[in-house]
Chain A
Amino acid sequence: MVKRALAIITLLLIGFWLAKGLVGVPFGEDKMLVGEYYLENVKEQTGAVNAVTAVVVNYRGFDTLGEVTVLFIASTGVGALLWRRKKERSAKSEGSVVLTAGAKMLLPFIMLFGAYIFVHGHLTPGGGFPGGATVATAFLMLYLAFKEYEIDHKVFEPLEGLAGVGYVTVGLIGLAIGGYFLFDWIWQTWQFGHENIGRLFSAGFIPIIYTLIGIKVGTELTGIVDNMIKEEPKGGGQ
Chain B
Amino acid sequence: MGEASKISRYLYTVIVLFIIWMFLTSSLDPQELEIGLILSLIVGALTYEVFTEKGLANLHPKRVAYAIAYIPYFIWAMIMANLDVAYRVLHPKRPINPGIVEAKTVLKNDLGKLALANSITLTPGTITLDVKEDRYFIHWIDVTDESVEGASKAITEPFEKFLKVIFP
Q: Which residues on A are within 8 Å of B, measured CB to CB?
A: 96-98, 100-102, 104-105, 107-109, 111-113, 115-116, 119, 142, 196, 199-201
Main SS of the interface on chain B? helix
- Among candidates B21, B110, B118, B128, residue contacting A100 with C-beta atoms closer than 8 Å: B110
Known: A97-B113, A201-B31. A105 touches B51 (CB 8 A): yes
Does A199 lie within 8 Å of B17, measured CB to CB?
Answer: no
Known: A97-B131, A119-B39. A108 touches B114 (CB 8 A): no
- Selected A-B contacts with CB under 8 Å, 6 pairs: A97-B113, A98-B113, A105-B51, A108-B50, A109-B20, A112-B21
| B146 is an interface residue with CB less than 8 A from chain A | no
**A98–B138 CA distance with the chains assembled, in angstroms:** 13
Does B114 lie within 8 Å of A111, measured CB to CB?
Answer: no
**A119–B37 CA distance with the chains assembled, in angstroms:** 13
Query: Which B residues are CB-close (under 8 A) to A113?
Result: 24
Q: Which residues on B are within 8 Å of A, measured CB to CB?
A: 13, 16-17, 20-21, 24-25, 29, 31-32, 35, 39-40, 42-44, 46-48, 50-51, 110-111, 113-114, 117-118, 128, 130-132
Main SS of the interface on chain A? helix
- Among candidates B35, B47, B113, B128, residue contacting A119 with C-beta atoms closer than 8 Å: B35
Does B43 lie within 8 Å of A115, measured CB to CB?
Answer: yes
Does B51 lie within 8 Å of A108, measured CB to CB?
Answer: yes
Does A199 lie within 8 Å of B131, measured CB to CB?
Answer: no
Does A101 lie within 8 Å of B47, measured CB to CB?
Answer: no
Does A200 lie within 8 Å of B31, measured CB to CB?
Answer: yes
Most A CB within 10 A of own CB, among B21, B29, B50, B51: B50
